[in-house]
Amino acid sequence: MRRFTALYLAVFTLFVAVAFSGCAQQEKVGLEKVKETGEVSFAMSGGYPPFNFFNKNNELVGFDVDVANEVAKRLGVKLNPVTTEWSGIIEGLRSGVYDGILGSMAATDARKKVVDFSTPYYYSGAQMFVGVQAPFSSVEELKGRAVGLVTGTTFEQDAKDLGVTDIRLYKDDTHTLTELSNGVIDGVITDRVVGVNAMNSGKFKIKPLGSPLRKEDIAVAFRKDDKTLTDEVNKILNQMHEDGTLTKLSKKWLKVDITKK
């Protein structure tokens, strides 16, 4: 009987220890996890100038990078930026490879079903770009033409809505705009600011065609289990809106303020 009681107590003690250990591990999510590790990891493509890209010194820079650094600073932790393929960036977030996506992601209804979004930190829109010598006068003329865009972006639906039958998918906008500038494709759908910045850089022989196709709210994406982190970043972004930090960073990289709705 004593042996049975001792065995029972041992098993019960082990069960309680495992249960408490499991609870402790489950609690270490969101803001608590970030504070404990002392860093926050934000993912981005690394090929989306002027928002996030590698400069001639192979340094990751841009508007998104500066915003991420400031958010990390106000969280009181170190920033760990992660560059990854855009096509799988949401799955990487959901599987816990990084804490959030701060890489100019549009907060669409479809994405909101699988991840949570912060308050927007800037506003933009989808735009069609064509070669500077292109004869097109409206976006409807590109229905039967080759139109490029980045894999996994909302711009693919824009192309389908326009009736484009030849959609070419690329890794990032450095590739799409290079192909457009070289005449390999007839049009590119991307963020209007990205395209105008590329056009003004003098590196690409392109121009916008027509008005923006639609407007987008750009926000930081988080796992649905990390609500405490989402809430804290929301507070920080609201502060950055109010104290002019986002406006300052926008003008630094884009020469205009895109942080006001």
The pTM score is 0.76
Quick check: is 196 in a domain?
yes
Q: Note whether 130 and 205 are same-domain residues.
A: yes
* Model confidence band, residue 255 (pLDDT cutoffs 50, 70, 90): confident
Among the residue ranges 17-26, 99-108, 166-175, 233-242, the one predicted with the least confidence is 17-26
Residues 58 and 34 in one domain: yes
- Structural domain boundaries, residue 178: 125-215
> Are residues 46 and 103 located together in one domain of the fold?
yes
Q: What pLDDT does residue 26 have?
A: 53
Instruction: Tell me, yes or no, whether 19 lies in a domain.
Output: no
Same domain, yes or no: 59 and 119: yes
Structure tokens at 235: 């507070």
Q: Is residue 25 part of a domain?
A: no
5 located within any domain:
no
**Is the same domain home to 166 and 102?**
no
What pLDDT band is residue 58 in, cutting at 50, 70 and 90? Answer: very high
Give the model confidence (pLDDT) of 82-129 as tens digits.
999 999 999 999 999 999 999 999 999 999 999 999 999 999 999 999
Q: Is residue 143 part of a domain?
A: yes
**Would you say residue 261 lies in a domain?**
no
Do 119 and 221 belong together in one domain? yes
Do 74 and 197 reside in the same domain of the chain?
no
- Has residue 31 got a pLDDT over 80? yes
Q: Is residue 168 part of a domain?
A: yes
Residues 86 and 150 in one domain: no
Looking at the fold, whether 48 and 150 belong to one and the same domain comes out as no
**Between residues 19 and 253, the one the model is more confident about:** 253
Q: State the total domains in the chain.
A: 2
* CB-facing half-sphere around the CA of 10: CA atoms within 13 A: 6
Task: Please give the Cα distance from 215 to 120 (Å, whole number).
Answer: 12
* Domain harbouring 39, CATH code: 3.40.190.10
**Strand intervals (E) in 94-228:** 100-106, 116-117, 122-131, 146-150, 166-170, 187-191, 206-222
Same domain for 81 and 207, yes or no, is no
Which pLDDT band holds residue 202 (cuts at 50, 70, 90)?
confident
Helical packing angle, 227-242 and 245-254, nearest 10°: 80
Residue 57 in any domain: the answer is: yes
Longest CA–CA separation in the chain, Å: 94
pLDDT confidence of residue 27: 60
User: Which tokens is 184 given?
Assistant: 């390999």
Query: Which residue's entry shows tokens 């006001």?
Result: 260
Q: Is 98 in the same domain as 177?
A: no
- Are 7 and 66 a contacting pair, CB within 8 Å? no
